[in-house]
Structures are given as C-alpha cells and as structure tokens.
Amino acid sequence: MSDAAQSGAAALPPLDELLAAARVVALPLATRFRGIDVREALLLRGPAGWTEFSPFAEYDDAEAATWLAAALDFGWSDVDATPDHPALLRDRIPVNATMPAVDADRVAEILARYDGCRTVKVKVAERGQTLADDIARVRAVRAAIGPEGRIRLDANGGWNIDEAEHAAHELAPFDLEYLEQPCATVPELAELRSRLHDWDLPIAADESVRKAEDPIAVVREGAADLVVVKAQPLGGVRAALRIVAEAGVPAVVSSALDTSVGLAMGAHLAAALPELDYDCGLGTASLLAADVTREPLRAEGGSIPVRRVEVDAGLLEAHAAAPERDAWWRARLTRCHAELEGRAAAASSADTGEIAADTAEADHRGHPQRAASAEQYPRQSEGRA
C-alpha cells in the first residue's frame, strides 16, 4: 500500500486554499551559511496551525514537492492528536550549536548565541577553504567548550575518500563525536567507514538519506553508523519516523535552516522518537538575524520546547519577500502541488491494483483474505431469497 495510505495522510488541500494562506518571507542571517545571507520561506496557516515550505532554491520540483508534503502533513493534520501518530515522549529537545565555516576568531562570538549547548556541530570542507582552516576552527571550538563538550563535524560530502581519511586523522585529537556525510556517495562512505573501523569514529549519513531514492540504502550497504533525519526533506514527521524505524540505527534529528515554524516540526519529530541518544540540530534559529515569531525556538539551557509557533503579523509584514520572489515561491507551490496530485493519483491506482490482485488470489486459493478485504472495502450484501 502507498506511503500516503499507510500514514493516514489527509486529502491534498485545494491549491486555491494554499495560495490564499501563503506568506513568503526573506529573513536575514546573522552569519553567512550554506552560501546564503538571506533565508526565504513560504509559510502557511492550516487547520492545525502554522507550517513551513522552504526547500532551497536550487532543488527541483520533484524534490521540493516532498517538502510540501511535509508542510501539509504538519499544518493540515494534528500530529499531536492523529490516532496513527506515535505519542510525543518528551516536551523539550536537547540541541547542539551549529558553527558555520567561519574564521577561528569568530567562534566564541557565535557560540554565545547558543545558551547552554554542550554539543557543537562544526562545518568543515567548505569550498575555497583548507584543512588548516578546519583544524583552526575545531581547535577554537574545543578551547571554548572544554574537554567535556562534544564536537561533531559536517562535511556535506565535500571530501573524497582519501581527503576524508586524512582529515579524520588530523582532527582525531579533538575527540570527535561523529563525522557527518564526509563523502558524497554511499560507496565512498562504505569504503571510508571500513578504513576507519578501528578509529572509533562513527559515520553519520545526511544527504545519503534525505536526497536518496532509497534512504535506507546507506545503512543496508554498511556505510553509516547513524542517520540524520530532517522532517521537511523526508516528507514530514510520520514519514521520517518510518525511515528511522526501518534503518534500525541511532538517529539525529536536524533542521534545514528553517524558521522557528519549521523547527517546531522538527521538534515534534524528535519528541516522537522512541530513543533520543544525540543532541539535535534544531538550534539553528540562532543563525537567523530575524524570525517570524516573537518567541523564536532558540536554545535555552541547551534545549528547545516542543510546541507549535504562533507567527506574528508584524514580523510577516516586516520581512515580506520582494514581489518578484513572492511570485517565484507561489509558482513553485503551484508546480509542487501538481506534483503531489500526480503522486496521489499514482498511489491510488497502485492501491486499487493491489486490492484487485489480493482479491483474485484469495478467490483462487480459497484463503480468508477476501473476507478481510470485503470488510475493509464493504459492498452491499447479496442475501438469499
């Protein structure tokens, strides 16, 4: 049966309803990150509350449509109350600080934005920088948080196997928690993990999960010790939970430079995980110089609360995107809605074929499955004269 059917997903809201509810914002970043200085997002207010659609501009419509599915799942179905949704097991989520690929002399300034965080994810392998730059940055982080703090590195697939192995050797003295997406492909990750087998340095997969047709392949191929999961890119809270369950390895919940609205979605995902062994990458509101709520989900005492965010109308107005960008996002929403309509139609057709095949098999073999199908899809009783 289709994922949509398994998740109990609601019918796709009409496009006109979404366009009427849409608000596009452009939020300045406090520090340049991921090559951008402004984070754009399309926000929607659904029956369950505010939700976010914010795939990065370079993503194609097929990939972006999965982000829209996540937004609709969070805004048009109450994940706190939907019967098929697991219970929220915690009301606060421990989070890490995120250190962009900045010069070492800026490390202390940036860490000051993350109240109480004792884990830091450090960006490395930035284009145009050197391993020496990475080492200096990591050294400054270790000096700032002391020997008890935890450091994890994120290369975003920026190294080849030999570069990653060399970097791991050079950075090992800083006592790393894990190395996230050091190489771009699953075979590269598998080879690197084999080389680092005796180093006690776990490999985490991010892009190899959220950008893959098969998000479990990286685990199946022995290429990762843990998975990084993000609610928007994976299609929503319930879709991400299914991936974690199937992967069978520890998971780290992270964000995609979301506004506080998107971070609330991630917090709900983290709150529903059966086990939460790692601090989550959901403290990234501190990378924004502005947000859409008067109560942003910034770290306090090293954690953020699990709650929906109430968007402030004044902040929406103050940070409204330029007209041409607003139009661009609305056109993108329209195309992605059409993509989801196509997926829903294909899933419905597949489910119909599955039901027909199951019924035919039951008829042929005399199994009781037909009775179950008839109970699930009732028809009028024929009776006897």
Cα–Cα distance measured from residue 151 to residue 166, given in angstroms and rounded to the nearest whole number: 18
Amino acid identity for residue 204 in this structure: A
pLDDT of 365 over the 90 cut: no
Q: And the tokens for 13?
A: 């809201």
pLDDT of residue 30: 96
Binding residues for Mg(2+): 154, 180, 206
Whole-angstrom CA distances from 167 to 130, 164, 174, 275 are 10, 5, 12, 31
Q: What pLDDT digit, counting tens, does each position of 151-188 carry? A: 999 999 999 999 999 999 999 999 999 999 999 999 99
Q: And the tokens for 266?
A: 């991630």
Cα–Cα distance measured from residue 341 to residue 344, given in angstroms and rounded to the nearest whole number: 5
Residue ranges and CATH numbers for the domains of the chain are 15-82+331-342 (3.30.390.10), 92-311 (3.20.20.120)
**Helices 260-272 + 237-247 axis angle, to 10:** 40
Residue 82's pLDDT band, with cuts at 50, 70 and 90, is low
Q: What pLDDT digit, counting tens, does each position of 260-317 carry? A: 999 999 999 999 999 999 999 999 999 999 999 999 999 999 999 999 999 999 999 9
The whole-number average pLDDT for the span 174-203 is 97
Amino acid identity for residue 93 in this structure: I
pLDDT of 118 over the 90 cut: yes
Tell me whether strands 226-230 and 203-205 are parallel, antiparallel or unpaired: parallel
Q: What pLDDT digit, counting tens, does each position of 10-69 carry? A: 689 999 999 999 999 999 999 999 889 999 999 999 999 999 999 999 999 999 999 999
pLDDT of residue 383: 30
Cα–Cα distance measured from residue 32 to residue 342, given in angstroms and rounded to the nearest whole number: 37
Which residues carry out catalysis? 123, 230
3-state secondary structure of 89: coil
